[in-house]
Structure 1
Amino acid sequence: MSLPIVNPWTLCVAPMMDWTDRHCRYFHRLLSPHARLYTEMVTTGAILHGDRARHLDFDAAEHPVALQLGGHEPRELAECARIGAEWGYDEINLNVGCPSDRVQSGRFGACLMREPALVADCVAATRAAVCGRDRDVAVTVKCRIGVDEQDDEEDLHRFVEAQVGAGLQTLIVHARKAWLHGLSPKENREIPPLNYERVYRLKREFPRLAIVINGGIVDAAAAQAHCAIVDGVMLGRAAWHDPFVLARCEAALFGTPPPAREEVLRRLRAYVEARLARGEALSHMARHVLGLYLGLPGARAFRRTLSEGMHRPGADFRVVERAMSGLRDCACAA
């Protein structure tokens, strides 16, 4: 079976707060050479007034990697985009989809869907800062299909039309609306119904706009089906729960043979040991691999050994090796 024509956004891993940190992204890159990886959302204030290295540092192996920004002030977003471009990011993504109360209080995230003209100003300013003769960094927007009572397709069309007018070339759409009041961020990922057809229609309405679909995509078959209609897929919690889904999607979309899980962990060793030497804790890295063997014999023992050992003082890669050894014992017993 022939593989689809691919573009830089064929397979993406969603920005997830408290999860897609640099350790997670390095691990995901070992599973999928082609996936586009995203940082956790970083606010403009954190970059302009905080510890930039803590928020922006990444490993060169992560490319292509995108910086997701949270903000609403065009000049601040432009300055942060410029900093991100100088840091080496391949893409600047504007968060217009997060429904949390904390994000709303800062006037960014999904509440900005009510202000398409302001978002367009942000897109234009950001593009002016990073798209030009001396650099060409992609600028994208991640949004929902609607917000609260603003749920008509005309509203979504008007929002997208404004962004295209500002020069936007790639849009990532979570195929659920957001309820800004009454639902938690977790409930906003589960309760509003998915409406893939609305995203498909959006692609038909804006055929020259690259559209990436997000929400409820949990396996390679679904990824392939969506990519036959839109330009790419973005996986979120599925990659958290079952990281190896990235290898399966990579194989389906790019033809890359899936790596052996044990080989992935062995390739992770040098990274982990380098970080441990800098004083970082094993738990900050190992938490991302807990689900690597999901559904296989010995997976529960692997997770238990790793969970119990990675928090102990002085824990190092030997904890991972013990967990791997337990898996081999289970395979022999089977």
Structure 2
Amino acid sequence: MLVGSLSLNTKLVFADPLTTTLAPTRPRSVAAFTSVWAGAGSFAGFAYVDGEAITHAKSDFERDREMALRVFVHGVPETTVVWETLREGVEGPSVSLALPGFGNPLPSGFLPTKDQYASWLTGELKKVEGPIDLVGHDWGALLVLRMATAGDVRLRSWICDVGSVFHPDYVWHPWAATVITPGQGEYMLLRRRQSSPEEAVAMMLGGGVSARDASEVFAAHDEVMSRCILGLYRSAVPNVAADWGADGYAPTSAPGMILLPTGDQLDDGALSREVAGWLGARTEVLDGLSHWWMYDQTGKAASVLEKFWAALE
């Protein structure tokens, strides 16, 4: 259970349940979130009071449980660090899930294909008791679209970027095309792992990612992550829609939004808008923002997400 367990003679009091976030501990899985939630006394704003007020305490606790959990899914080659800045700018409980093999070990027997990652994410989300607002970026966006269209997980809402990559006419960008090519992909990723930190992080820095976070992503890129990148892309030939598209072109049961950062060179705005139309989703232009729109310093990206979620209340 997401909420863990509490003693029947314990009262859990939130100083302000609507603004308390889980950012200080940075849980990277639903299991870790569960552990954090159960140990909530470690958060500022919590207090434990033994005794008679347990009835009132349960209503407070249940009210917080009913808040939607914001679940963030990162892309490739990235780690959960890319979400930290944005998570600090939005209200409500949240968790950033770490894709297996991206800065963490691969479970035994895990094959890094798009279907395996989709099954993993389905399992993680089914551990959540309560409404889910799912947010994805890059490959995380494709997994979000899979969750939204396959219907295996009940969502309150979904948000993603690079909607064009879900389009049947999408052609992989040059970096992905190289990864997919046998021999060339292995060599390119090996060179990246062996390059200097300055060379490896240049693209992310140019897209607005902080030097600290870009360096953390580079440090996490090991041979395991390279194998996972190769497996993901090579399971999506000629594109993601080749098999996922069979379930993907009808209005989703949960309201959705596809983000359109005007500086994202990996996206095709026209194709993204077409995918949004098929799914009954709205679109939101993020003027001047890059592929890493979550590093927006103006607060616009956070505001767009907050307004979308507020409209669901």
TM-score normalised by structure 2 residue count: 0.33
Structure with the greater relative contact order (CA < 8 A, sep ≥ 6): 1 or 2? 2
TM-score normalised by structure 1 residue count: 0.32
